[in-house]
Amino acid sequence: MNWDEITLYSPDDLLTYDKELLMQIGDYYRHEEVKNIIAERIIYRFSHLDNPLSLIDDVSLLKNSGVLLNLALVMRENSTRRGDIFYLKAIYYETKFERELQRALSVIAEKISKGPEIVR
């Protein structure tokens, strides 16, 4: 699968979380930035493999991570001071993103270790 052509999530997926705050922000979709960050993390985690992104055929494993990272980025961008609602939400989503990404990477690692076939 070509990583550049995938879609991890849609703007509607983001609206299932904090819709009211996101509507105040307006421009809240950071898909390309999120894909780049997640790709960097995958490449780092699987640096012993050639082109690890090509091994991921089921990108739904990364959907929740993508949504949570997008929310964290947007909340952080809109925080004006430590302790405001955007700041607190950013911390919350960053923490959830890290946990979710580690879970997804563990699943991917387990599938990779079972053989050379593409991760499904």
Q: What are phi and psi of 56, to 5 degrees?
A: -95, 110
Q: Give tens-digit pLDDT for 31-80.
A: 999 999 999 999 999 999 998 998 887 899 999 999 999 999 999 999 99
pLDDT for position 104: 95
CA distance 78 to 2: 32
Beta partners for residue 56, in sequence order: 119
For the CA atoms of 60, 107, 52, 1, the dihedral, rounded to the nearest 10 degrees, stands at -30
pLDDT for position 7: 93
- Write out the H or E segment, with its range, that includes residue 47: none
pLDDT for position 119: 47
What percentage of the chain reaches a pLDDT higher than 70? Answer: 94
In the predicted model, is pLDDT for residue 13 greater than 50? Answer: yes
Going 7 to 27 to 100 to 33, the CA torsion angle's sign is: positive
pLDDT for position 115: 67
